[in-house]
């Protein structure tokens, strides 16, 4: 029997969807019946989310003729956790997060359609690159310094984080440039684009996102060349550049002075990390109960520190499971990349997965003081509209590698198959 048929039969999408739904319903009870009374807004938000979730998977099966793949389930699972955490803090947070997820899903589907033909990506490459740089420049011109960084632009009462949207452009432009690389000039242009993005992020003092961009550049470059020696020189140049930045801009180093010294600055620079460590430990394996933790009272609990909230209230076991699931998403991307119909899909999928996994590492290791705290969000789970939209859009690159792929056919060699992927 053909391999793809076996894959489809093994993937029991309906029982998995039912299992995720039960988990989401049980998790939502903490917000729906908070303080011993029925709360309409959390109930409506979570009910609407679960309904939309079911509609998506049923329509996907009907339209594509295959069940949705693991990437879709992971995204909806994480996003559901995000809504519950937000709903237990504020009704308005829950509503805004649900809207962000809806916008992210629209961006996800739209991007899948745009990159269905890699030639379209080639056409949009230059406009997207120019738009991304322009967005970062606008950020410097219009944003105000918040917590030491120029990250946010306020538009009509809503906050926009341009660097999150530029992540999408960075993968979009990088993957198609490396796929269609035919001259040194093309590579030079992409290098200029990459250096410009990272340089502006340094001017914004958004060092965490700058590191994410640089790591993604390394992944894209390696996917194209496979040359370890060239990457070594790139890394050496980056280290030299970082040293020069620290020498001429000493305030950069000051942001990392509390690293590995948080307990010596328990009520100052190490305030957030020490509370994360204390409250995570108090949650034990099974947590204190959703909505019952103390960390939620600390600044940035639902954004930068959300993994600590997850472990304290939901338990260390679920926290570890979430980290493993991020790893599975990366494995999914790598497997899909091997069978993608274009090098563009392969490069984009691995770059997007690498970007998210590196961001997860910076977030989790940063709040637990294993790495310097950089203030990046946890993909799909942290509260934040732009971050959520970016996470869903990046998922499109991973999904495309599985959706648009070649398979071995018994009669006519290889043929393009639009399917659910892995």
Q: What is the distance, to the nearest Å, from the Cα of residue 383 to the centroid of all Cα atoms in its chain?
A: 12
Half-sphere exposure for 95 (CA within 13 Å, toward CB): 6
Average pLDDT of the segment spanning 350-375: 94
Q: Do residues 376 and 203 make contact, with C-beta atoms less than 8 angstroms apart?
A: no
Higher pLDDT pick, 398 / 12:
398
Report pLDDT digits (tens) over 205-264: 788 888 899 889 888 888 766 666 656 656 665 665 565 555 555 555 655 778 888 898
pLDDT(183) > 70: no
| Phi, psi values for residue 147, rounded to 5° | 55, 40
Average pLDDT of the segment spanning 103-122: 92
| Phi, psi values for residue 408, rounded to 5° | -70, 125
Reduced 3-state DSSP string for 336-384: HHHCECCHHHHHHHHHHHHHHHHHHHHHHHHHCCCCCCCCCCCCCCCCC
Report pLDDT digits (tens) over 136-171: 998 888 877 666 666 778 776 677 888 999 999 999
Buried residues in 147-177 as b, exposed as e (16+ CB within 10 A):
eebbbbbeeeeeebbbbbbbbbbbbbbbbbb
Radius of gyration of the chain (CA): 22
Task: Give one word for 35, left, alpha or beta, with left for phi > 0 and alpha for psi -120 to 50.
Answer: left
Average pLDDT of the segment spanning 61-73: 91
Report pLDDT digits (tens) over 117-137: 888 888 888 899 999 999 999
The two structure tokens encoding residue 67? 């069940």
Strand ranges, E, within 94-195: 144-146, 149-155, 158-160
| Phi, psi values for residue 183, rounded to 5° | -155, 160
């Amino acid at each position: 029997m053909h391999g793809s048929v076996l894959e489809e039969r093994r993937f029991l999408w309906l029982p998995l969807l039912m299992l995720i739904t039960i988990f989401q319903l049980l998790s939502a009870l903490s917000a729906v019946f908070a303080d011993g009374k029925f709360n309409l807004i959390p109930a409506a938000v979570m009910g609407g989310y679960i309904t939309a979730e079911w509609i998506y998977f049923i329509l996907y099966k009907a339209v594509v003729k295959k069940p949705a793949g693991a990437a879709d389930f992971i995204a909806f699972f994480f996003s559901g956790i995000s809504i519950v955490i937000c709903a237990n803090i504020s009704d308005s947070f829950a509503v805004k997060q649900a809207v962000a997820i809806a916008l992210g899903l629209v961006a996800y589907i739209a991007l899948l359609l745009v990159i269905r033909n890699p030639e379209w990506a080639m056409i949009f490459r230059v406009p997207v690159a120019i738009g991304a740089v322009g967005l970062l420049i606008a950020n410097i011109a219009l944003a105000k310094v918040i917590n030491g960084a120029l990250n946010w632009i306020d538009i009509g009462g809503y906050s926009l984080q341009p660097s999150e949207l530029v992540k999408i452009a960075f993968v979009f432009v990088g993957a198609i440039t490396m796929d269609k690389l035919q001259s040194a000039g093309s590579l030079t242009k992409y290098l200029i684009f990459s250096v410009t993005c990272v340089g502006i992020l340094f001017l914004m003092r958004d060092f965490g996102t700058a590191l994410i961009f640089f790591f993604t550049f390394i992944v894209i470059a390696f996917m194209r060349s496979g040359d370890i020696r060239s990457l070594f020189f790139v890394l050496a140049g980056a280290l030299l550049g970082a040293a020069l930045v620290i020498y001429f801009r000493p305030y950069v180093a000051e942001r990392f002075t509390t690293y590995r010294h948080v307990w010596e600055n328990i009520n100052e620079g190490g305030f957030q990390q020490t509370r994360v460590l204390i409250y995570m430990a108090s949650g034990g394996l099974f947590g204190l109960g959703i909505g019952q933790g103390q960390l939620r009272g600390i600044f940035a609990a639902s954004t930068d520190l959300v993994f600590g909230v997850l472990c304290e209230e939901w338990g260390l076991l679920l926290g570890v499971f979430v980290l493993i699931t991020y790893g599975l998403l990366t494995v999914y991307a790598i497997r899909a990349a091997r069978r993608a119909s274009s090098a563009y899909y392969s490069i984009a999928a691995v770059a997007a997965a690498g970007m998210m996994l590196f961001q997860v590492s910076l977030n989790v290791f940063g709040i637990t003081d294993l790495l310097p705290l950089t203030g990046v969000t946890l993909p799909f789970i942290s509260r934040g509209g732009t971050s959520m939209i970016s996470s869903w859009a990046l998922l499109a690159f991973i999904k495309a590698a599985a959706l648009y792929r070649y398979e071995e056919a018994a009669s006519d060699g290889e043929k393009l198959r639009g399917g659910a992927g892995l």
